[in-house]
Homo-oligomer: A and B are copies of this chain.
Amino acid sequence: MGAIADQTSSSNNTTHPPPPLDSSMEVLPMDVHKVALPPPQTSLQKLKVRFKETFFPDDPFRHFKGRSSATKWLLAVQYIFPILQWAPNYNLSLFKSDVVSGLTIASLAIPQGISYAKLASLPPIIGLYSSFVPPLVYALLGSSRDLAVGPVSIASLIMGSMLRQEVSPTKEPGLFLQLAFTSTFFAGLVQASLGILRLGFIIDFLSKATLIGFMAGAAIIVSLQQLKALLGITHFTTQMGLVPVLSSVFHKTDEWSWQTILMGVSFLLFLLLTRHVGMRRPKLFWISAGAPLASVILSTLLVFAFKAENHGISVIGKLQGGLNRPSMNMLHFHGTHLALVMKTGLITGIISLTEGIAVGRTFASLKDYQVDGNKEMMAIGFMNIIGSCTSCYVTTGAFSRSAVNNNAGCKTAVSNIVMAVTVMVTLLFLMPLFLYTPNVVLGAIIITAVIGLIDIPAAYNIWKMDKMDFLICICAFLGVIFISVQEGLAIAVGISVFKILMQVTRPKIVILGNIAGTDIYRNLHHYKDANRMPGFLILAVEAPINFANVTYLNERISRYIEDEKMGEKQLDFNYVILDLSAVSAVDTSGISFLMDLKKTLAKRGLELIYVNPVGDVTEKLQRANEIHSFLRVDSLYLTIGEAVLSLSSMMKEQP
Contacts and interface: CB of A to CB of B under 8 A. Distances in A.
Nearest to A39: B525
Given A204-B551, A500-B504, A549-B204, A465 B591 contact: yes
Contacts of A544: 503, 543
Contacts of A189: none
Given A57-B506, A208-B589, A592-B208, A614 B542 contact: yes
Interface residues of A, number: 93
A33 B518 contact: yes
A247 interface: no
Given A465-B624, A584-B542, A207 B526 contact: no
A14 to B, nearest CB: 13
Interface string A138-169: 00000000000000000000000000000000
B559 A59 contact: yes
A484 interface: no
Interface stretch (A87-95, A112-120, A290-298, A466-474): A466-474
A543 B501 CA distance: 13
Nearest to A548: B204
A507 interface: yes
B555 A207 contact: no
B522 A519 contact: no
Contacts of A204: 505, 547-552
Nearest to A642: B520
Contacts of A623: 464-465
Contacts of A527: 7, 36
Contacts of A465: 587-588, 591, 620, 623-624
A548 B38 contact: no
Interface string A226-259: 0000000000000000000000000000000000
A214 to B, nearest CB: 13
A535 interface: no
A470 B20 CA distance: 26
Contacts of A501: 497, 500-501
A582 B582 contact: yes
A221 to B, nearest CB: 24
Contact of A587 (B209, B592, B624): B209
Contacts of A33: 515, 518, 520
Chain copies in the assembly?
Answer: 2
B502 A469 contact: no
Contacts of A201: 505-506, 548, 551-552
A624 B33 CA distance: 39
Contacts of A39: 525-526, 528
B526 A614 contact: yes
B515 A588 contact: no
Interface in A493-545: 496-497, 499-508, 510, 515, 518-520, 522-523, 525-528, 542-544
A639 interface: yes
A45 to B, nearest CB: 12
A453 to B, nearest CB: 18
6 interchain residue pairs of minimum CB distance: A207-B547, A542-B584, A582-B582, A526-B615, A58-B555, A38-B526
Interface of A: 7, 11, 33, 36, 38-39, 43, 46-47, 53-54, 57-59, 201, 204-210, 365, 368, 370, 373, 461-462, 464-469, 496-497, 499-508, 510, 515, 518-520, 522-523, 525-528, 542-544, 546-552, 555-556, 558-559, 581-582, 584-585, 587-589, 591-592, 596, 600, 603, 612, 614-615, 618, 620, 623-624, 627, 638-639
10 contacts: A201-B505, A207-B547, A209-B588, A209-B589, A370-B558, A465-B620, A465-B623, A468-B587, A469-B587, A510-B614
